[in-house]
A and B are shown apart, each in its own frame.
Chain A
Amino acid sequence: MPKYILIDHTADIGIDLVGISLQELFTNAAFALFDIITDLSKVESKIEHKIQIAGLDKEQLLVNWLGELLYLHDVKNLLFKDFIITDIKDNKLIASVRGEEFAEGKHVIKTEIKAVTHHNLSIIKKDDLWKARIIFDL
């Protein structure tokens, strides 16, 4: 099962996500974010960051989780490839993420993602699979 599928969105970029658990859905979302930004095969797990995030509900939690990763990428020039969510509830999660700092010559930036939007976002569980569609602003 692919971790995510790109959908055709005219201006921006959208992804369809699935996961056998909420944890996997959120992990796949983070993977998709950085897979769109860079070539992840060039990124090594050199440094680790602990992340603790809250949200009103699952949907806002997902946007805040990705938003946090995007902020770390933008301000600290970090690229992440491994995401371990140790605890997740409807309104908060704890994770450790691993990756390394962007290095000119080693890494490429394929796409700049400006933000993670709430547009028509809903997380649903159907036939034991968690599903979500999320739109990034490019």
Chain B
Amino acid sequence: MAEDKYKIQKIDAYRWRIPREGKMRVDGIIYADEHMLEEIQKDESLQQVINVAHLPGIIGHSLAMPDIHWGYGFPIGGVAAFDMDAGVVSPGGVGYDINCGVRLLRTGLYRVEIVHKLEAVVNTLFANIPSGVGSHRKDLKLSRQDEKNVLKNGARWAVSQGYGTKEDLEHIEEKGCIPGADPELVSDRALERGKTQLGTLGSGNHFVEVGYVSEIYDDKIAQALGLEKDGVTIVVHTGSRGLGYQVCDDFIKVMINASHKYNIELPDRQLCCAPINSPQGKEYIAAMACAANYAFANRQMITHWVRESFERALLVSPKESQIHPVYDVCHNIAKIEEHIVDGEKKKLCVHRKGATRSFPPNHPETPDAYKSVGQPVLIPGDMGRCSYVLVGTEKAYSDTFGSTCHGAGRVMSRNQAMKTAKGRNIAQELKEKGILVRADSRATLDEELPEAYKDVTEVVDIVENAGISKKVAQLKPLCVIKG
């Protein structure tokens, strides 16, 4: 039995401990209920939680959110914080898709106003927003200097070019630009890969989804977030595309050498890392910021094209459609943040790989508009079920370095999903449920079929019951474009 393999101890109904042993420096803690813990043990993700606990300078615990699943290096759904002096930064703790993240847009439209025009909406979105491999906007030409400006300024660059408004920036994590980005540390290869891919969705699990608020759990907070029952919403899920993958790849090479140089013993080469204050560590952080900013710009440009698509498909003016970002979160990132450790304020490098920041009300980083309610947390589900809007809590800040889950988490491998989908028409099945889907390839739809994911409601209920975020609203899909 796998439970014996990992010596798991129950802390309470939603938390489980893997006690420190061997060369582990801290315990592992998993947020899950009994049922989900069983699911989690079917793959190798718990071994990854243990591996992360081996890294130098790790503070507190090696944490896993309930949507944890087997990744490479860190588990997906993993959170780990490191001491700025004794700790390390690891590209494998962020992932290849740096600042993969989610943006939620609210609108001034109601479900009844668009439900008969979904065909036009989904087709216009699909035509306007490049998705799938190799796709790009033919009208967008970036010079090398433009691209470096994107890396330095993120969503601010996009707004300066007419993609959206200054007000949009107030509703993005880090206001859409992580400081300290140094484009000179990004390789020619990364710049080359990024050049044609800005403003594209990419493939796999990335999407733009139009939906509506199907349920409200907290009226006051929903109102502060501008969400009301049956209001139309749009969720954008994408990241830093080839540029981010190349930055990660380049720095994994650097960090393999650095791990040797600094005598860091690695249980898995994918966890290669360097001290945060070493030249290699500092350079990775500055290059990672570039890729993160590229992703912020990417989601900002897609927001602009969503606005345009709504105008065209529904023949409404921007005044009528009132499309505004609620918030935009990163879920693959390492951040330098202040946390309380043993009663003292301390700067830490918090890695969130497939995990979302969940900062409480009144935190300086929580945007002004949401100071009294907490930072919005956006949790997309699979294509067929629903997504959730939550807010951050004090408990997350004290217990999980201000972190929570990021999505449903896969339960089926893509291989299994393809087999399960064989002989079925997933697009037709979704259409029968009232959800229109456009995808670049049928294979994407098969791989992404709803059953391939954990039920996001179960994941979200665990983080709410464990107190690390608070449920505000549920969103249900109406139409989706996928890469």
Q: Which residue of B lies closest to A64 (CB)?
A: B253
- Most chain B CB within 10 A, of A9, A13, A114, A117, is at A114
Name A73-100 residues within 8 Å CB distance of B: 74-75, 77
From B157-165, B267-275, B394-402, give the one contacting chain A.
Answer: B267-275
A11 B70 Cβ-Cβ under 8 A = yes
A75-B193, A115-B245 known; A11+B69 contact, CB < 8 A:
yes
Interface residues of A toward B: which range?
A: 20 to 34
In the complex, the answer to whether B192 meets A10 with C-beta atoms within 8 Å is: no
Is A41 interfacial (CB-CB < 8 Å)? no
Is B249's CB under 8 angstroms from A10's CB?
Answer: no
Check if A13 sits within 8 Å of B443, measured CB to CB: no
Please report the C-alpha to C-alpha distance between residue A13 and residue B245 in the assembled complex, in whole angstroms. Answer: 16
Question: Does B428 lie at the interface of the complex (its beta carbon under 8 Å from any beta carbon of A)?
Answer: no
Give the distance to chain B from A120, nearest Cβ to Cβ, in Å: 6
A36 to chain B, nearest CB (A): 10
With A and B bound together, what is the CA distance between A108 and B257 in angstroms? 38
Q: Complex Cα distance A95/B408, Å?
A: 42
Whole-angstrom distance between the Cβ of A67 and the nearest chain B Cβ: 6
- Give A32 Cβ to nearest chain B Cβ, in Å: 13
A76 to B70, CA, bound (A): 31
Q: Are A119 and B270 in contact (CB under 8 A)?
A: yes
Contacts of A10 in B (CB 8 A): 43, 45, 69-70, 410-413
Docked complex Cα distance between A115 and B242 (Å):
9
Q: A71-B193, A137-B72 are in contact. Are A115 and B96 (CB under 8 A)?
A: yes
Q: Is B256 an interface residue (CB 8 A)?
A: yes
Complex: chain A residue closest to B250, CB-CB: A67
Q: Which of B189, B413, B483 contacts A71 (CB 8 A)?
A: B189
Provided the pairs A119-B270, A138-B414 are in contact, do residues A74 and B70 lie with their beta carbons within 8 angstroms?
A: no
Is A114 in contact with B97, judged by CB distance below 8 angstroms?
yes
Is B62 engaged at the interface, CB distance under 8 Å to the other chain?
Answer: no
Is B443 a contact of A110 with CB atoms below 8 Å? yes
**With a CB–CB cut-off of 8 A, which chain A residues contact B64?**
none
The answer to whether A8 and B72 touch across the interface, beta carbons within 8 angstroms, is no
A77: chain B residues at CB < 8 Å are: 134
Q: How many residues of B contact A (CB 8 A)?
A: 45
Chain B positions within 8 Å of A118 at CB level: 72-73, 252, 256, 268-270, 272
User: Could you count the A-B residue pairs with CB atoms below 8 Å apart for me: how many are there?
Assistant: 99
Is A52 at the interface (CB under 8 A from chain B)? no
Cβ contacts under 8 Å, A119 to chain B: 71-73, 268-270
The answer for the CA separation of A88 and B13 in the assembled complex, in Å, is 54
Distance (whole angstroms) from the CB of B425 to the closest CB of chain A: 18
B300, CB-defined interface residue at 8 Å: no
Residues 432-483 (chain B) with a chain A CB within 8 angstroms: 440-441, 443, 447, 483
Are the CB atoms of A11 and B76 closer together than 8 Å? yes
A138 near B204 with CB under 8 A, answer: yes
A residues less than 8 Å from B410 (CB atoms): 10-11
Instruction: Give the secondary structure class of B's interface.
Output: mixed
B263 at the interface (CB under 8 A from A): no
Question: Complex Cα distance A28/B415, Å?
Answer: 19
Interchain nearest-CB distance for A44 vs B (Å): 18
Q: A59 — nearest CB in chain B belongs to which residue?
A: B269
B303 lies within 8 A of chain A by Cβ: no
Please give, as numbers and ranges, the residues of chain B lying within 8 Å of A117 by CB-CB distance. Answer: 72-73, 270
Q: Is A135 an interface residue (CB 8 A)?
A: yes
A118 CA to B413 CA, complexed, in Å: 19
* Nearest chain A residue, comparing its CB with the CB of B411: A10
Interface bits A1-27 vs B (CB < 8 Å: 1, else 0): 000001111111100000000000000
Q: Which residues of A contact B70 (CB under 8 A)?
A: 9-11
Q: Is the CB of A13 within 8 A of B414?
A: yes
- Look across to chain A and name the residue whose beta carbon is closest to the beta carbon of B248: A115
Distance between A66 CB and nearest chain B CB, rounded to angstroms: 11
Known: A75-B193, A108-B441, A119-B270. A60 touches B73 (CB 8 A): no
Is A112's beta carbon under 8 Å from chain B?
A: yes
B-chain residues with CB within 8 Å of residue A111 when the two chains form the complex: 203, 414, 443, 447
Instruction: Say if the beta carbon of A124 comes within 8 Å of chain B.
Output: no
Is B204's CB under 8 angstroms from A112's CB? yes
CB of A130 within 8 Å of the partner chain = no
Q: Is the CB of A56 within 8 A of B256?
A: yes
Cβ-based interface call for B95 (8 A): yes
Q: Is B392 an interface residue (CB 8 A)?
A: no
B381: min CB distance to chain A, Å: 16
The contact string, 1 if C-beta is below 8 Å from chain A, for chain B 198-209, is 000011100000
Q: In whole angstroms, how far apart are the Cα atoms of A64 and B252 in the complex?
A: 11
B134 in contact with A71 (CB, 8 Å): no
Shortest CB distance B479–A (Å): 22
Q: Does A121 contact B (CB under 8 A)?
A: yes
Question: Provided the pairs A8-B413, A11-B76 are in contact, do residues A71 and B441 lie with their beta carbons within 8 angstroms?
Answer: no
Chain B residues within an 8 Å CB radius of A135: 72
Q: Which residues of B sit under 8 angstroms from A6, Cβ to Cβ? A: 415
| 30 sample A-B contacts, Cβ–Cβ < 8 Å, listed by A number | A10-B410, A10-B411, A11-B69, A11-B71, A12-B71, A56-B256, A71-B193, A74-B193, A109-B441, A110-B441, A111-B414, A111-B443, A112-B133, A112-B203, A114-B96, A114-B204, A117-B270, A118-B72, A118-B73, A118-B256, A118-B269, A118-B272, A119-B73, A119-B269, A120-B270, A121-B269, A135-B72, A137-B95, A137-B245, A138-B414
Known A71-B189, A119-B270; further 12 A-B contacts with Cβ < 8 A: A8-B413, A9-B70, A11-B76, A13-B414, A67-B249, A71-B193, A112-B204, A114-B96, A118-B252, A119-B72, A137-B95, A138-B414
8 pairs of A and B residues whose beta carbons are closest in the complex: A119-B72, A8-B413, A117-B72, A112-B203, A109-B133, A118-B269, A119-B270, A115-B96
